[in-house]
Amino acid sequence: MSELQYREFLESGDTLRVYAGDVLVFCSQKDRLVPLLEYLERFGEGRAVVMMDKMVGNAAALLMIRVGCGEVYSPLGSKLAVETLGKWGVACHFDKVVAYISRADGVGMCPMEEMSVGKSPEEFLAALVARGSQP
């Protein structure tokens, strides 16, 4: 992935960009996990892609693994995401790493980050579906 593509992503209004080689195959300006769930629904699993996301917590990392992501770029990632991505062999490039993704009000852990702890990609996706957030 080129530095130029990453800079363009950071300057854009996009929250997620997905590349297959140098070809942009998906982008979204939606918030939270919605873009990843839409990508999963549209393209399914197993494509070797590079993803750029504005924020990568453990929940996002598990969904990225599920779709077959091989490399992730983000200005912000959690230590939990770094550990999960590393465990599954996904290269991650985060400008800043925090202990965990915080709630919108800044008090405590993000509910999705909390729900994802200790789960495999399949277990987390099943938990989302059971909660009503279908891919």
User: Taking the model in full, what pTM does it have?
Assistant: 0.92
**Arch. (CATH architecture) of 3-131:** 3-Layer(aba) Sandwich (3.40)
Around Cβ 31, how many Cβ atoms within 10 Å? Answer: 10
Scored b (16 or more CB within 10 A) or e, 83-93 reads ebbeebebebe
Q: Which residues of the chain have pLDDT under 50?
A: 134-135
What single DSSP character describes residue 115? H
Tens of pLDDT, residue by residue over 102-115, are 998 988 999 999 99
110-114: long-range contacts (C-beta < 8 A, 24 or more apart)? 110/57, 110/59, 112/32, 112/33, 112/57, 112/59, 113/57, 113/58, 113/59, 113/78, 113/80
What single DSSP character describes residue 126? H
Q: How many CA atoms lie within 13 A of 56 on its CB side?
A: 33
